[in-house]
């Protein structure tokens, strides 16, 4: 069995690893560290929770042990998609770099530019950053990337999913062509192959697990629910969430609850708090200080339920998470792998529940195609209070005939009054004989698009007399063609004189 001492790491690094309690490298670490120390580009693909961060941090510290950083010119660069992941990489670097003199700087949003500028001015060996904040510093003239020797892209596929492709390409072009590049990701979508072909030179590819696979340590359960009304779906899912938590009891020590939208994150967290559950939200619109406090609270156990958007789905190493809930089925199948990967880490078991509505069917199909397995269906522990399934079905059957008969009556009424008949003109008491003569002598109405016919038909229900006389838009034109001075059709009994004068003028022109 391979040990860290067999990987040619610096003795100080080995001592720091021993202090953390690790003795045996994971497969991704064993496969990536040796070629990285040889100066080769590395393309690492491994499911989440397998130790990718240490796979690039340990060789970086060893290789950067010799040399000295210059002001505003970092010697290495680590790009991360989110602030939380960048902060976690910085924390790992601090743990593994104990005993060395390497300096680091963390460039993320939500923190003062001034403090970050001061760190860069002193010179840093390792620069850990999110793409947006890195480019901000570069454009302000506070940073040069011409001295970068090693560049790491962590969670590369997530970078691309979040729309960072132009930023990543621009950052690559800012760095020297001779740099060493390390790409690490849990999934490697085909569309990023162009990026790897362009910026990696003959990389050593390490794939320690089937691409897009899920851990066998995670028990996956799908709970399907049919709400009575579409607008009740979110409320019902909150009831189901609480019912599952209560059913699992002490086994649910803590949990991450994932939602697709930030607004939903706030609603779910507020609902859990209202019902007495210890929950806090985390998403991109919150201040960085609040996000950091929430994550720290979840790690130390003072926060039991973390309600999160996908900002927390990628790469965060939060130990001992017993449960993951997909309150919303992710719209991107790859996100399912990353979400449930927050549990069942480091050889431990975990539970992953997904709550699905009928509208989620296409997303579920995409997930099952990706992971190449069907998610086991589980029992829904919640049902609407005071209503048994049989009662609900009986109520549905009673309501259905009433709704059907109502629609039938409405349609039959429209069919009776709307069409115009050439064979038997409809009597209209207001127009008398002149009105009937006008209809008999009037030319056939011009054909209209179906949408206009439907519109007039719907209007007819509210216009009583006009519809019964068989007139819609064409009625006014037919009356206008009558040279015997018939009434102005469709304006009621009290027609203003100036309107009658305009119609008299049209009659004279017609004659």
Tokens of 235: 């409320």
Please tell me the pTM assigned to this model. Answer: 0.65
173-177, 407-411, 487-491: which is most confident: 173-177
Q: What does the chain come to in residues? A: 511
Radius of gyration in angstroms for the set of CA atoms belonging to the chain, rounded to a whole number = 35
Q: Which residues contact 300 (CB under 8 A, 6 or more apart)?
A: none
pLDDT (tens digit per residue) in 79-122: 998 888 899 999 999 999 988 889 999 999 888 899 999 999 99
Do 237 and 355 touch, CB atoms closer than 8 A? Answer: yes
Model pLDDT, residue 162:
80
Model pLDDT, residue 17:
92
Q: What DSSP state is assigned to residue 397?
A: H
**Domain 218-389, what fold?**
Rossmann fold (3.40.50)
pLDDT exceeds cutoff 70 at 417: no
Model pLDDT, residue 419:
43
Structure confidence at residue 286 as a pLDDT band (50, 70, 90): confident
Structure confidence at residue 1 as a pLDDT band (50, 70, 90): low
Do 294 and 280 touch, CB atoms closer than 8 A? Answer: yes
Tokens of 338: 């990353």
Tokens of 453: 């016919």
Averaged over 284-290, what is the pLDDT?
A: 85
CA–CA separation, 349 vs 394, rounded Å?
Answer: 43
Cα angle 191, 192, 197; round to 5: 120
129-133, 207-211, 425-429, 442-446: which is most confident: 129-133
Do 301 and 254 touch, CB atoms closer than 8 A? Answer: yes
CATH topology agreement for domains 4-207 and 218-389: yes
Q: What is the mean pLDDT of the chain?
A: 79
SS3 label, residue 97: coil
Model pLDDT, residue 397:
40
Model pLDDT, residue 412:
40
- Backbone phi and psi for residue 144, each to the nearest 5 degrees, phi listed first: -125, 135
Of residues 375 and 504, the one with the higher pLDDT is 375
CA–CA separation, 174 vs 145, rounded Å?
Answer: 6
pLDDT (tens digit per residue) in 41-86: 999 987 766 788 999 999 999 999 888 888 999 999 999 988 888 9
Q: What is the number of other CB atoms lying within 10 angstroms of the CB of residue 427?
A: 11
Q: What is the number of other CB atoms lying within 10 angstroms of the CB of residue 301?
A: 11
**Domain 4-207, what fold?**
Rossmann fold (3.40.50)
Q: What DSSP state is assigned to residue 423?
A: S
pLDDT exceeds cutoff 70 at 338: yes
Cα angle 323, 325, 328; round to 5: 170
Among 70, 64, 31, residue whose Cα is nearest residue 150? 64
Do 70 and 127 touch, CB atoms closer than 8 A? Answer: no
Averaged over 137-153, what is the pLDDT?
A: 95
Of residues 358 and 509, the one with the higher pLDDT is 358
pLDDT exceeds cutoff 80 at 272: yes
Pick left, alpha or beta for residue 445 (phi over 0 → left; psi -120 to 50 → alpha; otherwise beta): beta
Model pLDDT, residue 502:
62
SS3 label, residue 252: coil
pLDDT (tens digit per residue) in 320-330: 899 999 999 99
Of residues 476 and 221, the one with the higher pLDDT is 221
Among 132, 135, 103, 136, residue whose Cα is nearest residue 120? 103
Q: What percent of the chain has pLDDT over 90?
A: 49
pLDDT (tens digit per residue) in 418-433: 444 444 444 443 333 3
Dihedral of alpha carbons 339, 342, 343, 348, sign: positive
Do 147 and 73 touch, CB atoms closer than 8 A? Answer: yes
Averaged over 246-253, what is the pLDDT?
A: 95
CA–CA separation, 33 vs 39, rounded Å?
Answer: 10
* Positions of E strands within 246-348: 255-258, 279-282, 305-308, 323-326
CA–CA separation, 174 vs 214, rounded Å?
Answer: 36
Tokens 């960048």 belong to residue: 86
Q: What is the dihedral of CA 241, 244, 246, 247, to 10 degrees?
A: 170
pLDDT exceeds cutoff 90 at 248: yes
pLDDT exceeds cutoff 60 at 409: no
Averaged over 357-377, what is the pLDDT?
A: 94
Q: Treating both helix axes as pointing N-terminal to C-terminal, what angle do 389-417 and 450-460 enclose, rounded to 10 degrees?
A: 100
Q: What percent of the chain has pLDDT over 70?
A: 73
CA–CA separation, 156 vs 179, rounded Å?
Answer: 17
Tell the burial category of 178 from Cβ atoms under 10 Å away from its Cβ (0-12, 13-18, 19+): exposed
**Residue 13, Cα to own-chain centre: how many angstroms?**
39
CA–CA separation, 511 vs 299, rounded Å?
Answer: 92
- Backbone phi and psi for residue 488, each to the nearest 5 degrees, phi listed first: -75, 120
Strand order from edge to edge, sheet including 76-79: 104-107, 126-129, 76-79, 150-154, 180-185, 42-45, 204-207
CA–CA separation, 131 vs 233, rounded Å?
Answer: 37
Annotated domain spans of the chain: 4-207, 218-389, 419-510
């Amino acid at each position: 069995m391979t040990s860290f001492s067999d990987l040619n790491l610096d003795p100080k690094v080995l001592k720091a690893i021993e202090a953390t309690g690790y003795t045996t490298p994971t497969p991704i670490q064993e496969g990536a560290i040796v070629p990285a120390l040889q100066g080769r580009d590395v393309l690492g693909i491994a499911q989440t929770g397998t130790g990718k961060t240490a796979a690039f941090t340990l060789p970086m510290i060893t290789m950067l042990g010799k040399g000295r950083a210059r002001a505003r010119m970092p010697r290495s660069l680590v790009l991360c998609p989110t602030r939380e992941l960048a902060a976690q990489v910085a924390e790992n670097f601090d743990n593994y770099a104990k005993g060395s003199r390497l300096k680091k700087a963390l460039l993320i949003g939500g923190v003062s530019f001034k403090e970050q500028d001061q760190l860069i001015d002193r010179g840093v060996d390792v620069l850990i950053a999110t793409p947006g904040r890195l480019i901000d510093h570069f454009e302000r003239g506070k940073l040069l990337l011409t001295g970068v020797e090693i560049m790491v892209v962590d969670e590369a596929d997530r970078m691309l999913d979040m729309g960072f492709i132009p930023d990543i390409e621009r950052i690559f072009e800012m760095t020297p062509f001779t740099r060493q590049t390390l790409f690490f990701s849990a999934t490697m979508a085909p569309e990023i192959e162009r990026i790897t072909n362009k910026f990696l030179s003959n990389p050593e590819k390490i794939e320690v697990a089937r691409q897009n696979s899920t851990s066998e340590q995670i028990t996956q359960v799908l709970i399907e629910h049919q709400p009575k009304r579409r607008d009740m779906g979110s409320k019902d899912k909150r009831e189901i969430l609480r019912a599952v938590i209560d059913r699992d009891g002490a086994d649910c020590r803590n949990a991450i609850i994932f939602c697709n939208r930030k607004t939903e994150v706030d609603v779910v967290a507020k609902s859990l708090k209202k019902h007495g559950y210890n929950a806090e939200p985390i998403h991109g619109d919150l201040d960085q200080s609040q996000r950091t406090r929430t994550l720290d609270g979840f790690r130390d156990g003072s926060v039991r339920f973390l309600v999160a958007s996908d900002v927390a789905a990628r790469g965060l190493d939060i130990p001992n998470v017993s449960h993951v809930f997909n309150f919303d089925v992710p719209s991107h199948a790859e996100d399912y792998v990353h979400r449930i990967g927050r549990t069942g880490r480091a050889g431990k078991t975990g539970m992953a529940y997904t709550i699905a509505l009928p509208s989620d069917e296409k997303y579920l199909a995409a997930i099952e195609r990706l992971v190449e397995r069907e998610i086991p269906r589980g029992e829904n522990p919640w049902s609407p209070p005071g209503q048994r399934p049989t009662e609900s079905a009986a109520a549905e059957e009673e309501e259905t005939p009433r709704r059907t008969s109502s629609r039938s009556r409405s349609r039959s009424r429209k069919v009776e009054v709307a069409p115009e008949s050439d064979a038997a003109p409809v009597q209209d008491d207001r127009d008398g004989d002149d009105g009937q003569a006008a209809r008999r002598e009037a030319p056939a109405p011009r054909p209209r698009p179906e949408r206009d016919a439907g519109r007039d038909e719907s209007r007819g229900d509210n216009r009583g007399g006009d519809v019964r006389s068989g007139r819609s838009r064409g009625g006014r034109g037919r009356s206008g063609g009558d040279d015997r001075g018939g009434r102005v059709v469709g304006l009621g009994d009290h027609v203003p004189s100036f309107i009658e004068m305009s119609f008299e003028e049209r009659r004279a022109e017609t004659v």
